[in-house]
Amino acid sequence: RSDEVLTKNILEKVFNIDGVLDIDPRTGKPILVTYDLFCQTYS
């Protein structure tokens, strides 16, 4: 399921961004609408 692949947690941990997700009405799949960069890093 694509909604389990693209999550706010994944965006934060993998890409270091605070993303806003929405569902594409045509496909029903999650899309990244906008984002802010985090200044923290994970180890």
Residues 5-40 pLDDT 10s: 889 999 999 999 999 999 999 999 999 999 998 876
The pLDDT assigned to 39 comes to 75
What pLDDT sits at residue 38?
A: 82
For residue 33, the model assigns a pLDDT of 94
Where are the chain's structural domains?
Answer: 2-37
Neighbours of 15 (CB within 10 A): 13
Three-state secondary structure readout of the chain: CHHHHCCHHHHHHHHCEEEEEEECCCCCCEEEEEEEECCCCCC
What pLDDT was estimated at residue 41?
Answer: 59
From 18, 19, 21, select the one nearest 39 (Cα to Cα).
Answer: 18
In the structure, what pLDDT confidence band is assigned to residue 3 with cuts at 50, 70 and 90? low
Q: pTM here?
A: 0.68
